[in-house]
Amino acid sequence: MKMYFDKVKELVKKALPLELSSQEIQLEIPKDLSLGDIALPCFQFAKELRKAPQLIAKEISEKINPDGLISKVEAVGPYVNFYLNKSAVALDLIEKIKDNSLIPKTKNEKIMIEFLSPNLNKPLHIGHIRNGSLGESTSKILESLGNKVIRANLYNDRGMGVSETIYAYLYLSDKKEPDTKPDHFVGNLYVLFQKKKKEDPSLEEKAREILKRFEQNDPEIISVWKKLRKWVMEGYEETYKKFGYNFDVIYYESEIYEKGKDIVLDALKKGIFIKEDNAVVAPLEKYGLPNKTVLKSDGTTLYITQDIYLAKKKFEDFDLDKSIYVVASEQNLHFVQLFRICEMLGIAPVEKMHHLSYGMVLLPSGKMKSREGTVVDADEFFDEIKQLALQELSKRGKNDEELAKKIALSAINFYMLKIDPKKDFVFNPEESLSFEGQSGVYVQYTHARISSLIRKYEEIFRKLDLNKATIKDLTNEEEKMISLLTQFPNTVEEAATQYKPSIIANYLIKISETFNSYYHSTPILNSNNIETRILLTLIIKKVIEQGLQLLNIEPLEEI
């Protein structure tokens, strides 16, 4: 789209009696595609030209002669609407598909995305899946534009929760090896501890003792800690594989939790931080934020102390242009404060850090509660959806476990991503698997339908020479479809700047709906415009394929 924007800007510059650079001209994409592909709102020139925007629009449109890529220019109220020449544009898309440049590599930043970052006393839960979908998809989106992305994960592998599992292992269990998935085994120890603590509140103090012994490097505690930690990590790895999460770096809280102390004390000496009741505090009132304690009065560190250290380490080790954190919205204030503090300390300006904050995932009541009745375990959740996918497939006469897994993943990732990250939402399993609704399965189904069309008419597709492609006699519906297709690169860019994979997910639904109604209304293969129609079908397939991949979903050739 950028190319077309540039072209329109050139035309506008020539038609305007003002000296403007391209950056100074604002263009829009009309919501209603029957109003053209690109619009120039003329309010932006009204003040300088001392004319009504309607009049400016009319004058500009009269001065521009459509040619080449632009087929029509029209003033509508205060807007000048530009219509792209759809045949030329479609050919251009085919060129881009040929050299794999549908998404232009216009960016070149080094970006770290920290995501998942679980506490190592429990298995992953459904909230982590939203986190993982967002983290992995945002990474892929940013990479597709040419950025270098480093995927990081922080293991919070110490503290009270972890100490409670160590206590339960040592004193409440028969110290056996895991007989279930190892992270679940450790999670069960944690649940056991909580249960016993209800009967005997003194256990809390006992777990605190464990934490102390851990901090004093007590060999017995360290050896159990290592064992449990290894089990949890093994379990996680298995879950990551299932969901398609990848990490380049893993940070361990146990290795860094004390390291922020020096930074804090140094900043205190320099007068950046202040002392309050013997604790060290970051004064943030001048930024309209509550002050933040960064070191406790007994000299021990806090959650934010290690985050200050880690933020600095990330920038130093990787020379980052940007550092992103995918963390639930309960921590909004924490990150606003952290980023301010990092700026005060000269680690990085706030603009270089971003909290990709997300809301809660709820489930329809009564469904899929875990044994404790609150959080839903990630592995169980996956199995439930896979089971439902299997049922859905068997209705269609198929009994394919591998396919069910892939469908479950498509359903989960798509549903987690199609909603604006900031919003809480209810994950409805049936809806996520719907072949007709606004689901990942529906998009997959569309993709598979196109693939089967291509398989069925392989002969014709094979004979087609993309180097001599012609696009002609487009119907209205086809023109609209091409307009929508040209928006793909823009959609990806917008999703990247706003950190919202939902923009791509919703675009894919629109494309799928458009194709399906086209498929119903237009004979693709027994018409006298086969070549054009096949080419359009190929473009759609490619766009859906790339879009799905950006959502961490493997496009399926067959459902």
Contact set with ligand ARG (CB under 6 A): 114, 117-119, 154, 156, 307, 310, 325, 327
CB of 285 to ligand ARG, least distance (A): 23
- Please say which residue, 49 or 360, places its beta carbon nearer to ligand ARG: 360
- CA 553 from chain center: how many Å? 12
Q: Report the distance separating Cα 203 and Cα 221, nearest Å.
A: 16
CB of 533 to ligand ARG, least distance (A): 50
**At which residue do the structure tokens 């290795």 appear?**
255
- Please say which residue, 259 or 405, places its beta carbon nearer to ligand ARG: 259
Number of C-alpha atoms within 13 angstroms, CB side, residue 337? 19
CB of 282 to ligand ARG, least distance (A): 16
Q: Report the distance separating Cα 90 and Cα 94, nearest Å.
A: 6
CB of 119 to ligand ARG, least distance (A): 5
* Nearest CA among 339, 376, 449 for reference residue 187: 376
Q: Is 68 left (phi over 0), alpha (psi -120 to 50) or beta?
A: left
Burial of 356 (0-12, 13-18, 19+ CB in 10 A): buried
Q: Report the distance separating Cα 98 and Cα 92, nearest Å.
A: 10
- Please say which residue, 53 or 118, places its beta carbon nearer to ligand ARG: 118
Task: Show the tokens assigned to 488.
Answer: 């793909």
Contact 38, 82 (CB under 8 A): yes
CB of 504 to ligand ARG, least distance (A): 25
CB of 5 to ligand ARG, least distance (A): 38
Burial of 227 (0-12, 13-18, 19+ CB in 10 A): middle
Q: Report the distance separating Cα 439 and Cα 508, nearest Å.
A: 10
CB of 156 to ligand ARG, least distance (A): 4
Q: Report the distance separating Cα 389 and Cα 409, nearest Å.
A: 10
Q: Is 368 left (phi over 0), alpha (psi -120 to 50) or beta?
A: left
- Please say which residue, 258 or 384, places its beta carbon nearer to ligand ARG: 258
Q: Report the distance separating Cα 186 and Cα 402, nearest Å.
A: 29
Nearest residue to ligand ARG, by Cβ distance, number only? 117
Please report, as a single letter, which amino acid is at residue 39. A
Q: What is the DSSP letter of 125?
A: B
- Please say which residue, 143 or 157, places its beta carbon nearer to ligand ARG: 157
The SS3 of residue 212 is helix
CB of 64 to ligand ARG, least distance (A): 52
- Please say which residue, 17 or 290, places its beta carbon nearer to ligand ARG: 290
* Max Cα distance, the chain (Å): 86
- Please say which residue, 81 or 156, places its beta carbon nearer to ligand ARG: 156
Strand partners, 112: 150, 323
- Please say which residue, 4 or 214, places its beta carbon nearer to ligand ARG: 214
CB of 152 to ligand ARG, least distance (A): 9
Burial of 346 (0-12, 13-18, 19+ CB in 10 A): exposed
- Please say which residue, 214 or 325, places its beta carbon nearer to ligand ARG: 325
CB of 307 to ligand ARG, least distance (A): 5
CB of 253 to ligand ARG, least distance (A): 8
Query: Which segments of 249-331 does DSSP mark as H helices, in order?
Result: 253-256, 260-269, 303-318
CB of 211 to ligand ARG, least distance (A): 17
- Please say which residue, 187 or 440, places its beta carbon nearer to ligand ARG: 187
- Please say which residue, 237 or 431, places its beta carbon nearer to ligand ARG: 237
Task: Show the tokens assigned to 451.
Answer: 């693939």
CB of 208 to ligand ARG, least distance (A): 20
Task: Show the tokens assigned to 239.
Answer: 């879950």
- Please say which residue, 144 or 254, places its beta carbon nearer to ligand ARG: 254
Query: Which segments of 216-298 does DSSP mark as H helices, in order?
Result: 219-243, 253-256, 260-269
Strand ranges, E, within 350-484 = 353-358, 361-362, 425-426
**At which residue do the structure tokens 């979903």 appear?**
553
The SS3 of residue 279 is strand
- Please say which residue, 258 or 431, places its beta carbon nearer to ligand ARG: 258
What is the helix (H) or strand (E) element at residue 47, kind and residue range?
A: helix 43-49
Query: Which segments of 419-470 does DSSP mark as H helices, in order?
Result: 429-432, 440-456, 458-463
